[in-house]
Chain A
Amino acid sequence: MDYARPALADALAQQYAAGTLRGGARRRYEALLPGHPLLREALQAWQLRLMPLTGVLAPQAPPARLWQGIERRLWPSAAAAPQAGWQRLALWRGVSALASVAALGLALLLVLPGPAQPPVVVVLQGTGGAARAADGFVASVSADGRALVTRPLLPVSLEADRVLELWSVPPEGAPRSLGLIAADGATVIDRRRLPARLLKGGTAALAVSVEPPGGSPTGVPTGPVIYAGKLQL
């Protein structure tokens, strides 16, 4: 079947969202979704139309053990003790694995004659988006916290009408934009945009999101966050 046919994509999406696509057809459709943007678009439109119908269902509180089960499944190694949000993030576990890559980035960035103290290097890893697990960004912050340079480990391929935006994520509260960054080379961040306390606890992590041209229209990330890295001092 030609799944690029809009009428077919729409008919399948309609039945899937309504719940009437069943059995083998349903399984085939689910298997096709990841590889077919047109099918996904059609489905998104139908879900947007139909899901508000569930708004009338009276909420049912799940038992407390359910959340505990989710925590056990997601973070099996974590102790029962509550975690401070940004202190032990699953995301950063692999950071050390990329230490050699970080060293490479550091070497590249140190070619420029710098201050006596070495810069702080942050590795921004792929957050699980499609085929981005292996690459990442390196962000180098000068020791005085007044200069920041980003560089992708490999050129990042983007849809034509999308740009990358760098965010400073504070320990609490909303991320703050540091501006747009190049997907295929180094970007020197305008120092006027850098938070005053970048290296003094003002920033817990750096993140890169995919945004429309010109950057996020809302002041917070609107597109998926595809790279993130904790600021380690």
Chain B
Amino acid sequence: MKPTALPDWPERSRELAALLARSALGDRTAFARLYDRTSGHLFAVVLRVQRDRALAEDLLQEVYVSVWRAAAGFDAARAQPLTWLTSIARNRAIDSLRRQQTQPQLLSTTRADDADDADAPDHVAQAVAEEPGPLELLDRASDARQLTQCMNGLSATQRQSLALAFYDGLSHAEVADHLRQPLGTVKSWLRRALQSLRQCLDQATARDVAAAGN
């Protein structure tokens, strides 16, 4: 079965907001429940970027220690809990890469010979697909309603660079190295990809808000 993007991201958020509010008051039982509900997802997020399992475990501990301490500062009116938690986990994982000399292990070996051809098919090596490659993840993520059309608006090269950077935590230089493209080219692909994604998502959100108002 093909897993899809969590369609219940907002629904889960409501429950998590309540658990976070109780945690902010020092309720350990609520915090334990919050851990049960979210640790599987956050561990997956950390592990995807930080491949060293022992390090990833340490990081996840640090994440929850900070969540407990920062829970009072979480503002449910302005942020979604799952987004907030995922951001903390991901940022920690990326921070942990900065002192590591080792290259992240890549699971896809995409070449970008057809770099400037927006209609070129995505070449993802499936041979070692014990787990999905970054580009495959991006495709699955676009199953989420709003993301679908927005992802379709990106060129193949934009999608590739976004997938490598976002899922595998590659830096600009590492993406450029991986796709065998000049650094400046990759930077501009990524910038354009994110800008076009932003524009499209914000428009979709505005439409939702307008629809909800009717």
Contacts and interface: CB of A to CB of B under 8 A. Distances in A.
Interface of A: 14, 16-20, 22-23, 26-27, 30, 44, 46-63, 66-67, 69-70, 73-75, 83-86, 89-92, 127-130, 169, 174-175, 205, 207, 209-212, 220-226, 228
B137 interface: yes
B112 interface: no
A57 to B, nearest CB: 4
18 contacts: A14-B195, A20-B171, A22-B94, A49-B197, A53-B147, A53-B166, A54-B48, A56-B3, A58-B3, A60-B40, A63-B57, A66-B57, A66-B61, A75-B28, A83-B29, A128-B70, A222-B76, A225-B25
Given A86-B27, A91-B26, A220-B18, A55 B141 contact: yes
A160 to B, nearest CB: 15
B27 A89 contact: yes
Contacts of A225: 21, 24-25, 72
Q: Contact residue range for chain B? A: 35 or more
Given A50-B166, A56-B4, A57-B45, A62 B57 contact: yes
B124 interface: no
Given A60-B47, A73-B65, A223-B76, 15 more contacts: A14-B198, A19-B166, A20-B175, A26-B95, A53-B141, A62-B43, A90-B28, A129-B73, A130-B73, A207-B25, A220-B18, A222-B75, A225-B21, A225-B72, A228-B24
Chain B binding surface SS class: helix
Nearest 5 pairs of A and B residues by beta carbon: A59-B40, A91-B26, A89-B26, A55-B6, A85-B29
Interface of B: 3-6, 9, 17-18, 21, 24-30, 32, 35, 39-41, 43-45, 47-49, 57, 60-61, 64-65, 68-70, 72-80, 82-84, 86-87, 90-91, 94-95, 97-98, 131-132, 137-138, 140-141, 143-144, 147, 162, 165-167, 169-172, 175, 190-191, 194-195, 197-198, 201-202
A48 B83 CA distance: 6
A201 to B, nearest CB: 17
